[in-house]
Amino acid sequence: MIKITLKDGSVKEYEKGISVEQVVASIGSGLLKAAMAARVNGKTVDLFHQLNEDCSLEILTFDDAEGKWAMRHTGSHILAQAVKRLYPNVKLAIGPAIDNGFYYDFDSDKPFTEEDLSAIEKEMEKIVKEDLKLERFELPRKDALELMEKLGESYKVELINDLGEDEIISFYKQGEFVDLCAGPHAPSTGRLKAIKLLNVAGAYWRGSEKNKMLQRIYGTAFAKKSQLDEYLLMLEEAKKRDHRKLGKELDLFSLHEEGPGFPFFHPKGMILRNILEDFWRKEHRKNKYQEIKTPIILDEELWHRSGHWEKYKENMYTTEIDEGDYALKPMNCPGGMLMYAREMHSYRDLPLRMGELGLVHRHELAGALHGLMRVRCFTQDDAHIFMMPSQIKDEIIGVAKMIDSFYSLFGFEYHMELSTRPEKFIGTIESWDMATDALRDALDTLGKPYKINEGDGAFYGPKIDFHLRDSIGRTWQCGTIQLDMQMPERFDLTYVGADGEKHRPAMIHRVIFGSIERFIAILTEHFAGAFPIWLAPVQVKVMPISERQNDYAVQVAKKLEELDIRVELDNRNEKIGYKIREAQMQKVPYMLVVGDKEVESGAVAVRDRKEGDRGSMGLEEFISNIQKEIREKINK
């Protein structure tokens, strides 16, 4: 007999060799129907996984991230099976689950059309109705190669050839379909109650521009049709809020062929950007940060010393200066190290907080570029905090509270995730364990829930990521706190302790916005371009009804301008209805209509972009109200 500890802490005994599915069946038929996969001793496995020793067991449904992942991974196999049934000569590449869905890459001589996607989706629905059981089997590398060669799957052969000689290769089978896969999967195709193909796009094999362009079909799957319907509605709303569309309509930014991935900010976009940066500076001064600026181009040797060259060189731009090799910085960290190392520090100087709005460059593949969300140059609101080990917990808590204050201001909810040591890392396991424990201790003290992402830390240290939730329910990873015990070692950073001896400081890397460009994109979509008044590039538009009121309208606009209220005057010879509609399209918070009555009384007729006509109001009263809204940073 073996003992199995369930999530609620209860312990049950079963015969050795029992499957997870049999254990679930013994607990209840409702749970069995909902189960997608399981976690055994922290590892995600299929339901048909056999249990041969004492273990902990957690059943994963669609409500769990890993349960969603397993089900949607099965969705990608159903997609591939449907394509092979309809187009037998198509070659299979890879097909993983992704956030909110899945995709599969295909090598097809004929481009997939909308009609093809419709036919594929219908075939997928047939496969779901067939309720095919998924079965896992393993083969030695030689036999695995023979199987894939027999099936004519050259891309799978290449993947297997990249594995070690002694590797045992796993496959999954459903009906007549077999695919190379590590799993795990849902127990059968029938578990996917609602499935939808979304679009097709180009994708280079293995992400390299040197390889062949394949066709990537994207899809999604849910446990219930109502969930799918809700998701599709969200996608429609997201299309309306697309920051690329709104950025053009609101004249915020543009992207040009002459600089792919390098955004141009327009005057109105610069107003928004400068407001965010000015706010950032003010809050950092309040929190005792010193602002610095480090060069964009630095010697290649520095990037070897920091460890970035080994881990990140494929994403770095390089150049030659005076016969020496240099690189454009993809991160601000090494410059921050040099700033600390420029002078000797005492324990009395610590913690030392240095913030930088640093422009960085990273080479992203052309196919990955996406408006301001994924660009090749962007400004990170970095800070590097140097401290004694005894100060780590308080500094992490301080940063977390600062991030909370930023996100709350914009109306974002968020959750936190702790990411631990990855497979490839620098430093010792002991230093990693100490750093991870420090982050966990700080999170526990904060008392807010958090999730643990095993193996997802940066190569130099564990981290806390902040995932904010926007107004239509999407999540974005922006802020991060990374505890680094390696960089101070690599740069031989020291401070003189109370004992008069040299000691090694600990260091925190952190960002709040993450990237100014990306945060602007997120804000644009979150507010659907209708920025709160303190952020709006144009806060007020003054509109005379006819030429008779032009002089008064100019006076009103000038008065607002003198008070640093961002105002535009629209005194064109157009009908007032046209002017109002245009201002509404530009999402200006307030429109002040000026007619003869307003001129006589020194008033303005106020229109709110959301509430519409608010009637006539004295100019001084309007100014007092709007200044209060701006000062209090009201989000409406």
Active centre residues (catalytic): 333, 362, 380, 382, 384, 463, 509
Whether the bond into 351 is cis, omega within 30 of 0:
yes
| CA 633/CA 275 separation, integer angstroms | 12
Give 278's contacts (C-beta < 8 A, 6+ positions apart). Answer: none
Helices (H), 37-181: 65-86, 114-130, 141-150, 154-161
| CA 379/CA 362 separation, integer angstroms | 11
* Closest-CA residue to 481 (of 377, 365, 394, 569): 394
**End-to-end CA, the chain:** 62
* Closest-CA residue to 362 (of 324, 326, 312): 312
Token reading at 559: 């008065």
Helix (H, G, I), strand (E, B) or coil at 549: helix
| CA 12/CA 5 separation, integer angstroms | 7
Instruction: Answer yes or no: are the C-beta atoms of 607 and 601 closer than 8 Å.
Output: no
CA pseudo-torsion sign 180, 182, 186, 192: negative
The single residue listed with the structure tokens 């607002």 is 560
| CA 401/CA 415 separation, integer angstroms | 13
Which long-range contacts (C-beta less than 8 Å, at least 24 apart) are formed by 17-23? 17/50, 17/51, 17/52, 18/50, 18/51, 19/47, 19/48, 19/49, 19/50, 19/51, 20/45, 20/46, 20/47, 20/48, 20/49, 20/50, 20/51, 20/57, 20/59, 21/47, 21/48, 21/187, 23/51, 23/57
Strand segments (E) across 545-589:
567-569
CA 170 from centroid of its chain's CA atoms: 31
Provide the b/e sequence for 535-551 (b: ≥16 CB within 10 Å).
bbbbbbbbbbbeeebee
| CA 340/CA 504 separation, integer angstroms | 12
* Closest-CA residue to 554 (of 564, 568, 540): 568
